[in-house]
Structure 1
Amino acid sequence: MKQKNVTHLLATDLDGTLVGEKELTSALFEYYGERTYEVELVYVTGRHHDSTMELIKAENLPMPSILISDVGTEMYDFDDPELHERWKKTLEEQWWPEEISQIAAQCSGLTPQSIPSTHRLSYFAEDAGAFEEVKQKLEENGVPHKLIFSSGRDVDILPPNAGKGEALSFLLREKGWEKANVLIAGDSGNDRDMITMGYPAVVVGNCQDELKKLPEHPLIFRAENHCAGGIREAWEHFFEKETVESNG
């Protein structure tokens, strides 16, 4: 299959980032429509596939070229169905869900979430102590994993090579899009590994506390505006700087 030539790409979380304030979301896509280039859309979300599709319909969002769902454990290319299988194969190499479930069941303060995903185990944590307990037990038992704590209550346990950042990195390599002008946008802890990938990234103004603690970096823009308004603010900062300054 011939690879699509992409010059600009937005890889964004949905809830609390692209979605949250409808007027700002609409304004962002109007702004993109006025550019002289096309912006490729990749949605990178903690939601599962069906929930994401419902949100896209409810919020009247454009369909993305690629959907990365379930905190980076599922990947859907609407022009290349085989991409999903290739990503799934890489995740299977070190995924021990039975052992992880048994360990998590021994931890107080963790309540399983019902998530229709085969490469993700999710829990509600009563507090940070519950997260620290399962973290310690997984490490003591030598179980391969990636552990993510976000929004002060959500615990996701994934294969060690999963997560939003790993999935996005895999996608950019597979598509040959590494040299595109990429902006990554997020608002919570499960966005951390993609925000710190080394591409231009934005932490939106309404972000969760866990992202406020990120070290300062020239490629991480801390927006004042919330949600999609923060994405536009960062886009202008990284990719329209000369235009904005000349018009200012």
Structure 2
Amino acid sequence: MLLGVGSAGPTHLPPPASVRFAAFSDFDETYLAHAATSEQRSHLTALEHFLLDARERHQLLFGWVTGSSLASVQKKMERCGARVLPHFVASSLGTELTFFRNGFPEPDPQWQEQLEESGFSKAKVERIVERLAGNGVTLFPQNNGNSTEFMENYYFRSLGDQRRDAEALDRVRVLAKEEGLGLNISRCNPATGDPADCYDVDFTPPTCGKRNVVQHICNRFGVDPQHTFAFGDSGNDLEMLRAVRHGTLVGNCTPEARANFPRVSEHDYAQAILTSFRHHLGH
């Protein structure tokens, strides 16, 4: 069963009796280091212990907001030694929002309803890709298994010139807006398995995106915006970091992200998250 808790399965974070703080973390290369050292694994374990205690001590609701699918998250947890499920996972760039009750997945019905009413369709995406090709802008599908009913993933290969890249990607933005679609564009991070010299180009409903996940969770649980945290490592995390009071890039972030956000931790991966929590919430 996907991400269910069994004798050899992960531990889940029980929900806090009431929610005062909410925290949102990117998963790949933020919470989880794909090629973790023994020291980085120990930091992850320390963070997991903190989270298990913080749900009552600090009334903290914690979740992952990731471009990866839920199935991909499960595989990475198993491979990299993560043992604790968060309260929720907003996967596939927020086109899936899943809570865990006693370790078993439950989709958020309000979020699902928003997606179904968004007007998103693969036909609209295909029309955009075709029009772009006619104007000399080529997008190629990622074929990584992350596409969902409400998300289509493509790559755009850099033309080797920032100005030309910007012009081409602006054309993508214009057409996505014309079709009423949400769009995520960020520089690829080879550390997560993406090709070098490419951009992620992800089409979603306009109601998705990491910023909208933050707003939805805070509204649902009545969280004061001053009591919010977010952590990321790349360009597609910046809207989430800007949507909270305490947004932080981990120290291993991409150059693109570092150049566009002022708060960067001195620490990498889980250590950066744990350090921030301890600074603002205490031990």
TM, length-normalised to structure 1: 0.82
2:99 aligned with 1:77, yes or no? yes
1:174 aligned to 189, 197, 220, which one?
A: 220
Query: 2:113 matched to which residue of 1?
Result: 89
In structure 2, do the counterparts of structure 1 residues 112 and 146 end up closer, same or farther at CA, with 3 Å as the change threshold? Answer: same
Distance 1:82 1:171 in 2: 15
The code of the aligned residue for 2:73 comes to: T
The answer to whether the 8 A contact 2:100-2:106 is kept is no
2:85 aligned with 1:63, yes or no? yes
In structure 2, do the counterparts of structure 1 residues 228 and 65 end up closer, same or farther at CA, with 3 Å as the change threshold? Answer: same
2:27 aligned with 1:14, yes or no? yes
Instruction: Report the 3-state secondary structure (helix = DSSP H, G, I; strand = E; otherwise coil) of the residue aligned with 1:118.
Output: coil
Question: Once the 2 structures are TM-superposed, how far is the Cα of residue 32 of structure 1 from its aligned partner?
Answer: 4.3
C-alpha RMSD of matched pairs (Å): 2.8
The answer to whether the 8 A contact 1:123-1:156 is kept is yes
Query: 1:184 matched to which residue of 2?
Result: 230
Query: 2:3 matched to which residue of 1?
Result: none
The code of the aligned residue for 1:90 comes to: Q
Distance 1:51 1:235 in 2: 27
Question: Once the 2 structures are TM-superposed, how far is the Cα of residue 43 of structure 1 from its aligned partner?
Answer: 1.2
Query: 1:154 matched to which residue of 2?
Result: 200
2:193 aligned with 1:193, yes or no? no
2:148 aligned to 94, 102, 117, which one?
A: 117
- The residue correspondences of 1:199-210 to structure 2 (distance < 5 A) are 199-210=245-256
The answer to whether the 8 A contact 2:23-2:230 is kept is yes
The answer to whether the 8 A contact 1:43-1:67 is kept is yes
Distance 1:223 1:74 in 2: 29
Distance 1:132 1:156 in 2: 17
* Unaligned stretches of 5+ residues in structure 1: 244-248
Query: 2:7 matched to which residue of 1?
Result: none
Query: 2:125 matched to which residue of 1?
Result: 100
The code of the aligned residue for 1:157 comes to: F
Instruction: Report the 3-state secondary structure (helix = DSSP H, G, I; strand = E; otherwise coil) of the residue aligned with 1:169.
Output: helix
Distance 2:82 2:105 in 1: 24
Deviations 1:1-25 (A, max 9, x none): xx94023433111111111132221
In structure 2, do the counterparts of structure 1 residues 130 and 15 end up closer, same or farther at CA, with 3 Å as the change threshold? Answer: same
Instruction: Report the 3-state secondary structure (helix = DSSP H, G, I; strand = E; otherwise coil) of the residue aligned with 2:108.
Output: helix
The code of the aligned residue for 1:155 comes to: V
Question: Once the 2 structures are TM-superposed, how far is the Cα of residue 181 of structure 1 from its aligned partner?
Answer: 3.3
Distance 1:119 1:154 in 2: 16
Query: 1:144 matched to which residue of 2?
Result: 180
Deviations 1:158-179 (A, max 9, x none): 2222101101211221122346
The code of the aligned residue for 1:122 comes to: N
In structure 2, do the counterparts of structure 1 residues 196 and 226 end up closer, same or farther at CA, with 3 Å as the change threshold? Answer: same
Deviations 1:175-200 (A, max 9, x none): 22346833211111221111000321
Question: Once the 2 structures are TM-superposed, how far is the Cα of residue 155 of structure 1 from its aligned partner?
Answer: 1.4
1:225 aligned to 267, 278, 281, which one?
A: 267
TM, length-normalised to structure 2: 0.73
Distance 1:179 1:154 in 2: 29
The code of the aligned residue for 1:123 comes to: Y
